Structure 1
Amino acid sequence: MQPSQRLLTLGFLLLSLAWGQTSEFQDYDFLQFLGLEKAPSPHRFQPVPRILRKIIRAREDAAASGASQDLCYVKELGVRGNLLQLLPDQGFFLNTQKPPQDGSCLQKVLYFNLSAIQEKGKLTLAQLTLDLGPRSYYHLRPELVVALSMVKDRGAWGRSHPALGRLLTQLSVPGPQGPLQFNLQGVAKDWNRNRLKNLDLYLEILVKEDRYSGVNVQRENACDRLVRSLHASLLVATLNPKRCHPSSRKRRAAIPVPKGFCRNLCHRHQLFISFQDLGWHKWVIAPKGFMANYCHGDCPFSMTTYSNSSNYAFMQALMHRVDPKVPKAVCVPTKLSPISMLYQDSDKNVILRHYEDMVVDECGCG
């Protein structure tokens, strides 16, 4: 969708909401504007990672204060991107009925559905997070060994041991700690280039015992706790330069309202779009809504000399005075700001997305 078409779509939505009108246009065309084929319908919200909540809260605070920000740069992660997607692990455990042997505590195939990544652009981040649970392996001493490998052939789903590819990493974990994070940028480039529809990884956690430590390792019980508490997810960031303006813009915090007879002239009006009213609260996690505003009012000839009006508006108004068949200049947005939305799709993916031109900051005749 071209910028002018996006602006027209947003303008029609804002006016229809301002006038209390409802139509299929609002539910379909605006979802198209957001890059969605239809409204997601998740059964329930998945837990939102702390990093995504931190990002969305920081952006909401900056917007409320009117601070300038570049929403296509994720400073918390140190990468550029207009789309963050958290893909949940949909894999399976192996040998769950057998007691751990040879130090092996658990074996699991991690499976991530990559079909959700449809954004055309550069992949800037692929970060695997393994959460072993709060002190879940406290009795496993002196350390764990976490090994991560590629999977060549998964085999029958959950029924056979997969054929393994190259070893990606092998990490010693000395004791209880927070989530473990792995940079899969190199792996991600391969599957992004080949447009693969899924990513299979093989995870094995082993116990590295010290027979001279004098510590009684209750490995089997601790391994059971690891199986119950293990949570894996893949955070992917994508940058599409076409969806990012080259420079950040400062949002105006106040909305000046003309007085007296000037109220009929073109100016910005307040309009808060509530996702609850649209029924989008079922899939939008944050924000609850946003102050979109809209432009409305007359554009007389004298108004077209205003700094916010275009030269074309002045010439159109001039021609209207000469020939009334030429339409008058109309009140349109002349400056807009972006917002970020955190939502969940029907496949349980948590998505943080940047949207340009969502908030009307200034109006003029055009």
Structure 2
Amino acid sequence: MSQGLQIKSLREWIATILAGFFSLLVVLAIVRGDIESVVINMLFALLLAAYQRRFILDNDALLIRSQLKLFGIGITTFSVKRITLSSLDELVLTCGHAKNELMLTFSSEHSTQVERFDFRGQDELIKRLLSDTGIDYTIRSKGTANKKGHKAAVASKDTVADIFYRHTSPGEILLSHSVSRFAMPLPNSQRKTVYIAVAFGLLITIGVVSSSQNWIAGCVLLALTYLSYWLVRAHLCNQYYFIAQSPQSDIVVDEQYLQLPALLFADKKARKVAKEQVRSIEARWNYYVVDSYSIGWSRRKIKRPHVVSLTFITDEGPTIAVSNMAINGQALLLALTHKNYPVSLERSTKQALPMLFHIRIAVLLGVVGIIISSMIRFL
């Protein structure tokens, strides 16, 4: 079992965001020399950063614990809800764009109770935790049909071709698909390093803008901070997912088995999985806009499908979700369906290419910075 594996609640996520906001206020107060504001904002930042509400697998029970804990030191515990695995009647995991929701129905002494736990992201963590309980659970996606356990509807090669290759020829069916380590999901253990790099860049940006009122330089530094996030993230992922004992990073699709590289599993061990051991291959996809054109007074968008994530569910547990940035998802799906593997296709609410959205935001910030700087000079 994944002892010690914890899922952070939506409340804790919001508290962390607010803690970051108050930390910025502390920096601004230091720049202004306002000691009283520094103390007050620091207290709020520490209090919010210490708040935890988590879903935990503890031996033969599930815990929902609310507490204050800072730097590994427990301050106080508000509540602990303990639900034994033997008392569970139903587990329902609902995945959405803004948040995920876990509903637990269990039997107490004389009644049946329902406990709800909301969280954001952490899809792979919660699936791994629930798989380790050994209890069947239901997965639901908002706006889509229900899926019982991992028995998802199987998509055919015609379905894949119709969605992803409507305007192009599929070409050669590749049996080996390389996974890019630098584009894999950032592990939780490496997030602090990335956040420190971003925070350092933001502090420099705030310092430059506060001291010189140079908004153009501030926007440039903000763009460099954003770039540093992706560079540091790519470097850390490349290091983390390079496994010296098993450096192979290709997914091999055979008629009888799947060769899955070690970097896809939490225990960092490669697996050769027989076809009958593959429960489901969950593929989520969405459209992204590549171009637009005008017809009269209306404007039409040209969209292309894109694989958002792809997860292998096997008898030995699920893999880490792989995005289309790390692998050619369309080509892999085509190979899997041609070899008659159980593939589940589901339209996702997540952005297909979030980096495009981020780039547009960066450009918008740059334009706004130039406009503000010009207005200040004019005034």
TM-score, normalized by the shorter chain, greater than 0.5: no
Work out which of the two has the higher radius of gyration on C-alpha atoms and give 1 or 2. 1
The structure richer in helix per residue is 2
Which bin holds the TM-score, normalised by the shorter protein? Answer: under 0.3
TM-score (norm 1): 0.20
TM-score (norm 2): 0.20
Q: Which has the higher contact order (CA 8 A, sep 6+)?
A: 1
